[in-house]
Amino acid sequence: MGSYLKTIEMDQFDSLLFYLAVSAVFSGSALHKLMKNKVKMEHTLVLGLLSLLILELLCCFILSDSLGLTLFSLACIIYYFFIPVKDILPAESKAILITGCDSGLGHALAKHLDELGVLVFAGVLDKKGPGAEELKRICSPQLSLIQLDVTHSGEIKEAYIEVKSLVQDAGLWGIVHNAGFLGYVADGELIPMSVYKQCMDVNFIGAVQVTKMFIPLLRKAKGRLVSISSMAGQTPIPGFAAYGASKAALSMFSAVMRQELFQWGVKVAAIHPSGFRTNILGSQEHWSSQDRKILDNVMPDVKEDYGEDYIATLKDLYPQMFISSSADLTPFLEDVCHALLARNPNYSYTPGSSAYFIPCLFRYFPIWVYDRFAIKAFQSNKNLLPKSLRISQTKNKSA
């Protein structure tokens, strides 16, 4: 009996060794391929790995050794071939239009693509402004500055005529919808209607109008349509009702265009960055103007319910957001370049810290888990409740 049990234990030990060996060979080869191709662990790859792990346990403990090992090895091989290979198209002389190049991410992208040899059409809000002047000074002569307010139909038309005359029959390889507007970060009830409208006009309608005007050139080149959306367009974040809603509209527009433009050979991607240190938060003057703008636009009873002290402390959030954002724009630049130049781009990119993790929390966990996390992590005013809530809390305590 003792020797029989020993034989079974030895058999189980042998089979565990086989599973370990297959796992080790798979992990080594997959890691090598991931690192060689600088592949980011996007959620499909992570989900695939988790499924492999579950499959390994099932095979090991439920199936016979031969069947289990064959099935598990087969799954490892499929996963290995599923890891994308870096296959980047040549950048030289590809024509790409970027909107909102006066500052920040668009400005850095224009310089980066110019260095790679791309024929950049840098759309700027102010052709005589400091951002445009810097691009003219630093970049190669092949970069063209294009006056382009994305909310101005006349400027979009003129930009189209200018770009078309320069690219002629080659068409346009890429459009990057980068121009963006944030406005104020505050409770949705307090954000003025003008901010909601401007967010929609710049972040969504502007991108749609530019797409509709330039799309024939993009179809000609079988090129790329890339939209700079935001993590706030995928995930509800307190304080971002106006901006987040406009970016969600942009993400959905991009997703539908991806389906429709597929038949034309145009590939479409959306970028959902988290916090990068740019001008998006606006200047100190902008932050200081917030109280007045809110107070001038809310109804007296809303002002009474929230309290002027609460409204005044909302702007304290900006310096915190500025500090917690990343000054290194490399992850953003790498992802946009991949979307523009990889033979097989992804449909969505999440550059920046937590830009992948937070949407996963929203998608895959019960909503109360995500809501508690978001309220704790992002709620605009952690230290002070709106006035009416404070009063009722005090009453409850003393009752």
Ligand X SMILES: NC(=O)c1ccc[n+]([C@@H]2O[C@H](COP(=O)([O-])OP(=O)(O)OC[C@H]3O[C@@H](n4cnc5c(N)ncnc54)[C@H](OP(=O)(O)O)[C@@H]3O)[C@@H](O)[C@H]2O)c1
Figure out which of the listed residues 125, 172, 217, 257 binds ligand X, where binding follows CB under 6 A: 125
Beta-strand runs (E) in the chain: 95-98, 119-124, 144-147, 174-177, 224-228, 267-271, 348-349
**148 to each of 101, 141, 176, 305, how far by Cα in Å?**
10, 19, 13, 42
Nearer to ligand X, 43 or 286 (CB): 286
Q: Check residue 151 for interaction with ligand X (CB under 6 A).
A: yes
Among the listed ranges 54-62, 68-76, 147-155, 253-261, the one in contact with ligand X (CB under 6 A) is 147-155
Q: Check residue 147 for interaction with ligand X (CB under 6 A).
A: no
Nearer to ligand X, 183 or 386 (CB): 183
Cα separation of 15 and 60, whole Å? 8
Rounded to a whole number of angstroms, the minimum distance from the CB of residue 328 to ligand X is: 12
Among the listed ranges 82-90, 175-183, 285-293, 380-388, the one in contact with ligand X (CB under 6 A) is 175-183
Say if CB 298 and CB 185 are below 8 A apart: no
Figure out which of the listed residues 96, 118, 145, 230 binds ligand X, where binding follows CB under 6 A: 230
Rounded to a whole number of angstroms, the minimum distance from the CB of residue 319 to ligand X is: 15
Q: Report the Cα 151 to chain-centroid distance in Å.
A: 22
Q: Check residue 276 for interaction with ligand X (CB under 6 A).
A: yes
Cα separation of 45 and 398, whole Å? 54
Nearer to ligand X, 100 or 174 (CB): 100
Which residue is associated with the tokens 């330039």? 214
Q: Check residue 225 for interaction with ligand X (CB under 6 A).
A: no
Figure out which of the listed residues 289, 325, 353, 388 binds ligand X, where binding follows CB under 6 A: 325
Figure out which of the listed residues 19, 181, 240, 362 binds ligand X, where binding follows CB under 6 A: 181
Among the listed ranges 94-102, 166-174, 291-299, 380-388, the one in contact with ligand X (CB under 6 A) is 94-102
Nearer to ligand X, 197 or 387 (CB): 197
Q: Check residue 244 for interaction with ligand X (CB under 6 A).
A: no
243 labelled catalytic: yes
| 61 burial via Cβ count (<10 Å: 0-12, 13-18, 19+) | exposed
Give the residue from 338, 330, 379, 350 showing the smallest Cα distance to 234. 350
Cα separation of 310 and 136, whole Å? 45
Give the residue from 246, 214, 216, 221 showing the smallest Cα distance to 232. 246
Cα separation of 125 and 132, whole Å? 9
**369 to each of 187, 360, 361, 372, 385, how far by Cα in Å?**
21, 12, 8, 5, 22
Binding mask 278-307 for ligand X (x = CB under 6 A): xxx---------------------------
Q: Check residue 228 for interaction with ligand X (CB under 6 A).
A: yes
Q: Check residue 270 for interaction with ligand X (CB under 6 A).
A: no
Nearer to ligand X, 19 or 178 (CB): 178
Q: Check residue 100 for interaction with ligand X (CB under 6 A).
A: yes
Q: Which residue out of 243, 306, 318, 349 is catalytically annotated?
A: 243
What is the DSSP pairing of strand 144-147 with strand 95-98?
Answer: unpaired
Q: Which two tokens stand for residue 186?
A: 């505050």
Coil, helix or strand at residue 175: strand
Q: Check residue 346 for interaction with ligand X (CB under 6 A).
A: no
Give the footprint of ligand X on this chain (CB under 6 A): 99-100, 102-106, 125, 148-151, 178-181, 202, 206, 228, 230, 273, 275-276, 278-280, 325
Catalytic residue annotation: 243
